[in-house]
Amino acid sequence: MATEPMYRLIADDLRAKIESGVLGQGRQLPTEIELMEQYSASRNTVRDAIKLLTTRSLVETRPGQGTFVVEKINPFVTALTGDPATGLGGGEEAVYIAQVTAGGRVPQISEPRVEIQQASAVVAGILRIEEGAQLVSRHQQRFIDGTPWSLQTTFYPMELVRQGATRLLEARDIRGGSVVYLAEALGIKQVGYRDSIAVRAPNPEEISFFRLPADGRVQVFEIYRVGFDEDGGRIRLTITVYPADRNRFRINVGQIPIMRENPVPTEVGESRRDSGTDLKMSG
């Protein structure tokens, strides 16, 4: 009778400890040296065991930190479409909080980091301003149930501040949101928005914040949302980064029932019946 290779025996033992909770989610595994001593095995054997657990998505190795048990994340579904009569929707802070709360989960948003920047070629092109022109950026981190969920940065032309929207420069939340504030302060109403979605590998800052594996197997979705006023002018650009392992998006079209839950597919490729279309994000 064939004997199982040593690396498989080690992997099976570690897997049993993970599944039983002895090695809990997010917990760091013993070092290679400790595992070599624990199982009386060579370094290569231990590495092969870790590699097998990695391919099974049970552990992940973080450069310079060690190997950790993968945290199982319950995906959240964000509605990208909003009320067409107002042009407000899923990217707004109040709607984000309402959606997360309605799903029985706990939202958290950091205080904004406000900066005055020069418009890059990309941002300038989208906002239809000159490259290098001054603009205001407001950056926030967003969490669900304490887990980092998204990063959001909104750019506003400096002309809005010159016209009197000075609260855009304050490093604090704007009650009701910036869209409502611009309507009240300047009479500039956002009547619609356009979303563009890109997929890319996370940068080092995003890998650190979202605690993603460094090998790039979990990508991020980057949504560019441009807000338009009644004259077709571009009043803001909001860029939101969502890691693919914990986010899904819904696009609602036409007359549909009101969603009262935040359903997620029960299995890969299978969705519960609901009122919208779920766009599944996977790494």
Q: Who has greater pLDDT, 138 or 256? A: 138
Is 235 a domain residue? Answer: yes
Beta strands in the chain (DSSP E): 59-62, 66-69, 76-79, 107-109, 113-118, 134-144, 147-157, 192-200, 220-228, 234-243, 247-251, 277-280
pLDDT at 82: 62
Tens-place pLDDT, residues 24-76 = 888 999 999 999 999 999 999 999 999 999 988 899 888 788 899 988 888 88
Judge contact between 202 and 243, C-beta under 8 A: yes
Q: Give the structural domain span for 151.
A: 76-280
Q: Who has greater pLDDT, 211 or 264? A: 211
Are 88 and 167 contained in the same domain? yes
Is 224 a domain residue? Answer: yes
Asked which of 219-228, 231-240, 259-268 is least confident by mean pLDDT, the reply is: 259-268
Is 128 a domain residue? Answer: yes
Judge contact between 182 and 164, C-beta under 8 A: no
pLDDT band at 261 (very low <50, low <70, confident <90, very high): low
Alpha helices in the chain (DSSP H): 6-20, 32-39, 43-55, 93-102, 121-127, 158-162, 178-186, 204-210
Are 54 and 114 contained in the same domain? no
Question: Which residue reads 């914040």 in tokens?
Answer: 209
Is 190 a domain residue? Answer: yes
92: its two tokens: 């707004």
Is 1 a domain residue? Answer: no
Are 34 and 126 contained in the same domain? no
Is 133 a domain residue? Answer: yes
Of 24, 40, 69, the residue that ends a domain is 69
Is 187 a domain residue? Answer: yes
CATH number at residue 13: 1.10.10.10
CATH number at residue 170: 3.40.1410.10
pLDDT at 276: 41
Are 167 and 61 contained in the same domain? no
Are 130 and 11 contained in the same domain? no
pTM: 0.74
Total number of domains constituting the chain? 2
Are 64 and 88 contained in the same domain? no
Residue 278 has pLDDT above 70, yes or no: no
Are 122 and 53 contained in the same domain? no
